[in-house]
Structure 1
Amino acid sequence: MSFDGSFTHAMVHELEQTVATGRVSKINQPYANEVVLTIRANGHNYPILLSANPTYARIQVTEIPYVNPAVPTNYTMILRKYLQGAILKGVTQAANDRVVHLHFTSRNELGDQQELLLIIEIMARHSNVILVEQSSGKILDAIKHVGSDQNRYRLLLPGAQYITPPKQDLDNPFNGPRADLTQTVKDYPNQEVLAQTLQHQYQGLGKDTAAALAATLHETGDLAQHFQAFFAQFDAPQPTLAELPNGKTNFTAFPYPDTTTNQSLPTLSQLLDTYYQDKAERDRVQQQGSVLIRVVRNELKKNRNKLKKLQRTLDATENADEYRIKGEILTTYLYKLSRGATTVTLPNFYDNEKHLKIALSNQLSPNQNAQKYFKRYQKEKNAVSYVTTQIKQTQANVDYFTNIMAQIELAAPKDLTDIRLELQQGGYLRDHDHQRKAKAKAKKRRKQRISQPDRFTASDGTRISVGKNNLQNDKLSLHTAKRTDIWLHVKDIPGSHVIIHAANPSEQTTLEAANLAAYYSKARDSSTVPVDYVPVKRLHKPNGAKPGFVIFTGQKTVFVTPESDLVDQLAANNPK
């Protein structure tokens, strides 16, 4: 389901019941287009996510942890100036549009009370979060600045007058059906056509909501009653994660017709967390890690091309022995050679039944011709040694960057910092980020810390740690873990280092840790994944090896199929 006006209606109702009259305790902007306001209400802290992401724009209470930037943005500072400690008086919706107003009251620098609006407009790529002074209608700031060159209808800039989005000449379905509802249903017996017609008559109907309404109106009985009953369900939602006939997953405020219910959630916010968690995380990783992805792809392409060239060179040196044989035959039969000849055919004493035709230079003496073949043989022999070494090093680079790419694919946004640092330390990535330049002096004074690995708890209470990138892996396996702890890693596949913090874990704990190792690897979507495990004391990092690379002996292997439900359960087992 799209986050349409009807779903917005239900979400506003939920927020009004949950956080109204609460006080703003924290304001952060973890990502460029997203703000999290933590509101203290009824003895609980509720992180309210206001997302102007072009693909995943929404408003909700979120339980997904976010990592905030070291330096707050200017927009964050403006919000903190006006909203820190403010009271949320209420949450309202503009008609049935995807525009939500959060009404705040606070005190200014002089102690005078002021009324403020934090407005989120959920409109795909035009989505925005705007702070407005209610009395004057002046914009204090917006998460996205929109000038006259982008929008002639209205400016979204500090100091500009806030103008509401263009109104649609449509009816609010929560005010009841139109008088011509019965005639409309008669005129459009086809459900698909009726759904399209309803979208042009009523405000805030997404495609799937309109289709569900059309299916309801085709039932026998009082159409007006069916219409009102349909929209009444948005005021008493049954948050539903459903499967569509095409196999895709969808979220709805209540079960829609022609869908298979997969999961019911207690609240709309929990529904959105469940639906968006992986999708939004992948999108954020793609956005924030775009530079890293480009660098790694370029390095992979460069090393793979180099590997092909080296292999061709190695293949060309397979005939090196021919030069040695020709040199030895020429040396043996020097007395038969005369200066000025261009070819000679001599008995091949390595093959008694054949003669060998050998090309000569008429500018060289017979002995010089023989020495030329010996030199060519020595050159090819040296090339074999050099090329073999280069192939080994280049293949190691390919494996390394393949591993980095797999880590980016599996990473959460918070893990990208360590991957960026690793690429910078390896000389593959230059630091062009303007914020990092601004903090250059501070970075000289303090060494950048490596983030903590993810933590899980086995069914029997044993702690398990999972490194999400090479720097974490090195620190976890070589410095943090005890020598008696158990180390796990998928066999011959890029993945995370996993540590069981116990010397003799149970078979169940070992299988659960192996499941984590398989899940946080490139084999996440595979079945029967081999996972090696060995005591940490048997790990060894060769001198000069790249981050995350270790060798080991005496390992045992188990086979598991990654299960996301088990991973969630092990994460939920962590002590609060």
Structure 2
Amino acid sequence: MNNYYTLIYLNREIKEKIGGCFFRFAISPHKDVLHIYVGAQDSTLRLIFSTNSRETALFLDGYRPPKKRNVIDFFPFLEGQKITDTELANNDRLLSIHFESGKKLLFKLFSGRPNVFVVENNTIVDAFKNPEKHKGTTPPQPMAPDFQDEVSPRRSPKNQMTEVNPLLPRNLLPSLIEQHGVGEMSPKKVKAFTLEASRALEQDPHPRVLKTGDFCLWSREWLDIPSEKECTEVNDCVSFAYKNAVHLRRLHNKKEDVAEFLARNKKQKKSMVGQLKQADKSLGRADEYEKYGHLLMAHAHESISPAEDTISVEDFYEDNEEIEIPLNDRGTIAEEAEYYYEKAKDARTAYEKAKERLPKEKKKLKNIEGLQSQLASIDRLPDLNSWLKEHKSSLRELGYGSSEDKQVSSPYRKFKVGKYEVWIGKNAKSNDKLTSLAHKEDIWLHARGVGGSHVVIRMGNYKDYPPKNVILQAAGYAAFYSKAKGMKSAPVMYTKRKYVRKPKGAAPGAVVVEREEVEMVPPINPKEY
């Protein structure tokens, strides 16, 4: 989202709007997001920085009152300091905001670990992410990219273009190459085309967000992909693209949760309908059991040996052919007959109940399929929320409820991280219950060195670890529900549940961890994520 060419224009726009303003305060209302409030006497703006590797973005937004609870404050020593300049590193995605005290905020917008550092005298004195790791170290330095004069003839068109200009937006190059037939060009023409495309980015920007969700500076003549939004300022399009990406992520996660629930229910209902359709077999068994009862009653005056498992009698329903009837150790033949009469009665009852239940289960299956069809067509989060509210009773009948609903009767808190369910203990006894119920392959987490809740990531039948972002988010929950809640970041250990044991006679909530890994994470309130 913040390609180098994007940052050229963004830096100019930010400098124009916040130059001479004062740093008011900075908070992190959500994981991986920093809001920096800056302003003059009569106005305040927010500089929003997302360090999510999939949604890295920096842009200015309008004022919005900060949350008063469960937020983390950052860089209090900058409060009241005047902004004197903003600066973009030459040919690199490092943007600085300078203050009159000589300190600066250095935004690193590349690699898988974006971050913002407070720098003084060329030394990092604080950081948004992992401050303890970075304090006292040298800040990131601009890395001059390698611009090639010659194009390698055997490389792909995309690699040829990035040899000429490594700063080009790589996510858009495949479409650019296809539209202009770059694959058919000679190396010399590829170089000339690349230089021309670079000049268009530098001198003739057309900020827009494509229907694909990508931010773009090329005009439709250069890249003929329809626009979702066109802007006069780069900042506005970056803001739109970021918010749209966040919206789509939240929509996907919430929609996937409901879709998986409906898919499970559909599978169960289809299986149930299939079984109920086989109800005729119960009627057939009823006839067979009743026949056994009649045949046995015809021999009720006879005795049987306790050691016998079957009895052989003449089947007067089948021309007196010999038939073997299993015995069930009921005592007398009459009692064996009574057993089969009861079996026949139960089988007929099951048949009648199945006949009565089948249309109801078919209706439920049809309802689930209808819900699946409606869900598939929803592409906006507000529409999904409205749909969930509209169908709340239908979904609840199927067993779907909110985390809050489930927590009323649950001995521990339950939340979702993507498709993974996360359990969080409420107290020492709840911690014991949670950990004892967890499967050996589940992931167990706890804030290191302080009291707090046990946290478990449910893994189902999977033996692998979940994606790292899931572990980090659950670790943030563990930090929040611990005595490290007030820290900017806290160490959280995690391991497989099978490596956690409770010593005999140990106090409630006390465990021994045989092996562990540790991550430094900011506390996250799951109710606000």
Query: Shorter-chain TM-score category?
Result: 0.5 to 0.7
Find the aligned partners of 2:303 and 2:81 in 1 and give their Cα distance.
104
Superposed, which structure 2 residues align to 1:553-572 within 5 Å? none
- Are 2:343 and 1:344 aligned? no
- 1:495-553 superposed Cα distances (whole Å, 9 cap, x missing partner): xxxxxxxxxxxxxxxxxxxxxxxxxxxxxxxxxxxxxxxxxxxxxxxxxxxxxxxxxxx
What's 1:502 paired with? none
C-alpha deviation, 1:367, in angstroms: 0.9
Partner of 1:257: 222
Note closer, same or farther for the CA distance 1:99–1:360 as it changes in structure 2 (3 Å cut): closer
Q: 1:216 to 1:5 in 2, by over 3 A?
A: farther
The CA distance in 1 between the partners of 2:272 and 2:105, in whole Å, is 59
The answer for unaligned runs of 5 or more in structure 2 is 389-400, 415-422, 425-454, 456-476, 486-529
Instruction: Determine the structure 1 residue equivalent to 2:55.
Output: 56
Q: Does 1:240 align with 2:208?
A: yes
Partner of 1:199: 162
8 Å contact from structure 1 (residues 10, 235) kept in 2: no
Aligned residue for 1:168? 144
Q: Which residue of 2 aligns with 1:129?
A: 116
Counterpart AA for 1:204:
L
Encode CA deviations 1:298-349: one digit per residue, 9 max, x unaligned: 998699669958975985755452355226524763569775672334455x
Distance 1:200 1:322, change over 3 A: same
Measure, in 2, the Cα distance between the counterparts of 1:386 and 1:104: 78
Contact 1:343 1:358 in 2 (8 A): yes
Name 1:78's counterpart in structure 2.
74
Q: RMSD over aligned Cα, in angstroms?
A: 5.6
Contact 1:326 1:358 in 2 (8 A): no
1:200, CA displacement in angstroms?
A: 3.4
What is the rounded CA distance, in whole Å, between the counterparts of 2:181 and 2:296 in structure 1?
A: 98
- Contact 1:50 1:58 (8 Å CA) reproduced: yes
Query: Residue 5 of structure 1 aligns with which residue?
Result: 4
| Aligned pairs for 1:478-493 within 5 A | none
Q: 1:101 aligns with which of 87, 96, 100?
A: 96
2:92 aligned with 1:92: no
- Report the TM-score, using the length of structure 2 for normalisation: 0.55
Q: 2:124 aligns with which of 111, 134, 139?
A: 139
Give the stretch that moved more between structures: 420-429 or 119-128: 420-429
* 1:434 and 2:478 matched: yes
Q: What is the rounded CA distance, in whole Å, between the counterparts of 1:261 and 1:362 in structure 2? A: 76
**Does the aligned pair in 1 maintain the 2:296–2:336 contact within 8 Å?**
no
Question: For 2:346 and 2:181, how far apart are their aligned partners in 1?
Answer: 83
Q: For the residues of structure 2 that align with 1:32 and 1:92, how far apart are their CA atoms?
A: 27
Letter in 2 for 1:60: F
State the identity as a percent.
13
- The secondary structure found in structure 1 opposite 2:134 is coil
TM-aligned CA distance change 1:24 to 1:207, over 3 Å: same
Matched, 1:269 2:235: yes
Answer whether contact 2:124 2:139 (CA < 8 A) is retained: no
CA distance in 2 between counterparts of 1:45 and 1:306 reads 56
Structure 1 distance, partners of 2:345, 2:484, is 52
Tell which deviates more after alignment, 272-281 or 44-53. 272-281
SS in 1 for 2:10: helix
In the alignment, the residues of structure 2 paired with residue 66 and residue 354 of structure 1 have an alpha-carbon distance, to the nearest angstrom, of: 92
Structure 1's unaligned 5+ residue stretches are 106-113, 148-155, 172-177, 442-576
* Cα distance in structure 2, aligned partners of 1:130 and 1:102: 11
C-alpha change, 1:384 and 1:285, in structure 2 (3 Å) is same
Amino acid of the residue matched to residue 115 of structure 1?
Answer: G
8 Å CA contact 1:119, 1:130 repeated in 2:
yes
| CA shift digits 1:57-81 (9 cap, x unpaired) | 12112469899583223xxx232x1
Q: Deviations over 1:273-297 (max 9, x none)?
A: 333334323436778x89x959x96
Q: Structure 1's 64 and 199: CA in aligned 2 closer, same or farther, altered over 3 A? A: farther
SS at match of 1:124: coil
Aligned to 1:371: 338
Give runs of aligned pairs for residues 21-420 of structure 1, distance below 5 A: 21-40=20-39, 44-62=43-61, 70-73=69-72, 77-79=73-75, 81-105=76-100, 114-132=101-119, 134=120, 136-145=121-130, 156-158=133-135, 160-165=136-141, 167-170=143-146, 184=150, 193=157, 196-197=159-160, 199-202=162-165, 204-207=167-170, 231=199, 234=202, 237-242=205-210, 248-255=212-219, 257-262=222-227, 263-283=229-249, 308=271, 317=282, 319=284, 321-322=286-287, 325-326=290-291, 329-330=294-295, 333-334=298-299, 339=304, 342-347=311-316, 359-361=325-327, 364-377=331-344, 380=347, 419-420=402-403
Does the 8 Å CA contact 1:18/1:41 hold for their aligned counterparts?
A: no
Q: Is the 8 A contact 1:64 1:273 kept in 2?
A: no
In the alignment of these two chains, the number of paired residues is 386
- Tell me how far 1:87 sits from its aligned partner: 2.9
Give, in angstroms, the shift of residue 242 of structure 1.
3.5
Preserved CA contact (<8 Å) 1:120 1:130: yes
State the TM-score, normalizing by the size of structure 1: 0.51
**Would you say the 8 A contact 2:168–2:198 is kept in 1?**
no
